[in-house]
Structure 1
Amino acid sequence: MKTALRSALTAAAFLVPVAVSAATPIVMHRDPGCGCCAKWAAQVQRQLGRQVRVVDDPSRAALQKRAGVPADVSSCHTAIADGMAFEGHVPIADVKRALATRPEGVRGLAVGGMPLGSPGMEVPGVKAQAYDVVAFGPGGRRLFARHGS
């Protein structure tokens, strides 16, 4: 009986951080009125099962600076999830992988600009552009993922 109880408590201890993380909303600061940002947020909610709180923020530059987002990869929205920053149309699978693995020295991921075919930027009948997801942090940046053709 003690062994079963100990096993159950140990399993519960590992589930608590996941439950807390899933319950914590992702906060997305966006250029006011940007429709593609809303589409990205909807995909996050669907694929990660987390709420996204949208903040219309015409002056995101201060937030981007605090988060360490390199200026040359800025985009139309900056999302903060579990202490990590996600700039622009980062694929949800990459968000999920970064949150799960917490790569050393990485403060966030960014997709510069608004590449066609990236999450929130899909256009039916239009071929997706190739684009890179950049990991950034105090030590600089590196390629995290490559998408498109």
Structure 2
Amino acid sequence: MTKNLSIKSLRKAASGMTLALLAACTTAVSAAPIVMYRDAGCGCCLKWADHAEKGMDRTITVKDEANMRARKTALGVPPMLASCHTAVIDGYVIEGHVPAADIKRLLETRPAGVKGLAVAGMPIGSPGMEYQNQTQAYQVIAFGTEAPRVFASYN
């Protein structure tokens, strides 16, 4: 009976340690940094990075990229959705001035067929493109294995 009790105790301890390790791994994944590629001369990219860091409570690693077109092509950004900077987070591609709230929703819902989100161009009033309280309407587009579709709209 003592053997059974110690085996049960060991199994319980092993189960507890497994759960603790899984929780630690989950926390590590959710805190994964964002890597942002940008042209070294672009200042709005750094403003977007500040917005995303604060809005997502994650660190952003900024990498200056000499050939942004090649980087975007390698990451699968559709040319019609291109902007000034491209970020990668948890396997998703974030193109341009996508609000942090939309990135959070993407990471929470993980919709099938979506490889990333994009805000094409540099619309005034989008995160990092704030200017004298002016705004342009813009859309956040989900892209991936299916046709691009609207993920969020801003007026």
TM-score normalised by the chain length of structure 2: 0.83
Give the Å deviation of 1:19.
Answer: 3.0
Any stretches of 5+ residues in structure 2 without a counterpart?
1-8
> How many pairs align?
146
Give the structure 1 partner of residue 79 of structure 2: 71
Structure 2 CA distance, aligned partners of 1:124 and 1:12? 48
What's the CA shift string for 1:77-128, capped at 9, x where partnerless?
00000110000000110011111211100000000000000000011332x1
Q: Does 1:99 align with 2:111?
A: no
Tell me if structure 2 keeps the 8 A contact 1:68–1:136. Answer: no
Structure 1 counterpart of 2:29, one-letter code: V
Any stretches of 5+ residues in structure 1 without a counterpart?
none
Give the Å deviation of 1:76.
Answer: 0.4
C-alpha RMSD over aligned residues:
2.2
Q: Does 1:119 align with 2:119?
A: no
Match of 2:38 among 5, 10, 30: 30
Structure 2 CA distance, aligned partners of 1:94 and 1:8? 35
Structure 2 CA distance, aligned partners of 1:18 and 1:106? 23
Give the Å deviation of 1:7.
Answer: 7.7
Give the Å deviation of 1:27.
Answer: 0.6
Structure 1 CA distance, aligned partners of 2:79 and 2:35? 20
Q: 1:101 to 1:15 in 2, by over 3 A?
A: farther
Structure 2 counterpart of 1:53, one-letter code: T
What's the CA shift string for 1:4-49, capped at 9, x where partnerless?
9768964773463233331x22110011121110000011111111
Structure 2 CA distance, aligned partners of 1:91 and 1:63? 21
Tell me if structure 1 keeps the 8 A contact 2:97–2:119. Answer: yes
Q: Does 1:16 align with 2:21?
A: no
Structure 2 CA distance, aligned partners of 1:34 and 1:49? 23
